Amino acid sequence: MEFPETGKHCSVEDCKLLDFLPFHCQHCKAVFCKEHFHMTSHECSKVEDVQPSLKKSENYLCSKKFCKEMSPVSMPCSKCKLHFCITHRHHGCWVFGVDETEVTQKLKKWQLPKKQFADAKAVVDQQVAESLKKSKNTALANKVQLMRIKGSAIGPKNIPMSDRCYFLVHLPLTVKNQHIGTSKGVFVNTQWTVGKCIDSMADTLKVPNNNNTATAKKLQLYRHLNGDLICSEMDTVLSKLIEDSVIVDGQRVILEYSDNVPLDTSLYK
């Protein structure tokens, strides 16, 4: 051999490569080739003293409170530098750079205009309703009322559009429905009888209906204008009442348990 003392062998037992430009590990001071000079490549004996996080057996616990998710790979937040699991990687700090209390306060502040708009709309709707009640042009008032109802009315989807009749229905005073409120636009079929229309309205609005029980108070339809009963004969077809101008499409009505006596309409807002 021409240069027997040139180069050194890699200290990794399974390698022992003769390297003419060997690397010295600054921690364990051993000699290694270019493939094994890194601490993790030769499993440096000083790794625990230098950087405990390099241990292969280490797992990272999510920093989210009450979360027990562990990960073998660190995923630090770019803001707070804490490790979070996949589920909680979009925590409040990541989004806003603030703590969760401040995030909640910001969300409430953003939601305030939405609430103000809803409150203002409710006031305008009430003013429109009052104007419609006072309107001398009944036909025009009914048309405006009908257009308002159609936009949000609910009812059986299988009723053809051409057979639908719309009503703004005020719920019985004893029935509370936080999702509907005190009144809601409802559509029924003009080919149905008054009795079937009442049953459908009750079902749509989740109003208890005991019209088939002889001793129970019956659900009836009343005019919101004066509190009078619209029709006492349950087998009368709705289209007949429309033809006789007893009712009109888009009319305000009251669905109430009663004994055929006039209602106090001031109680139905």
Residue whose pair of structure tokens reads 């996080």 in the numeric block? 53
Q: What is the mean pLDDT of residues 50-67?
A: 66
Identify residue 111 by its one-letter amino acid code: Q
Percent of the chain with pLDDT over 70: 82
> Rg for the chain (alpha carbons), in Å?
39
pLDDT digits over 219-260, tens only? Answer: 999 998 888 999 989 999 999 999 998 988 988 999 999 876
Identify the residue with better confidence: 99 or 61.
61
Question: Is the model more confident about 50 or about 151?
Answer: 151
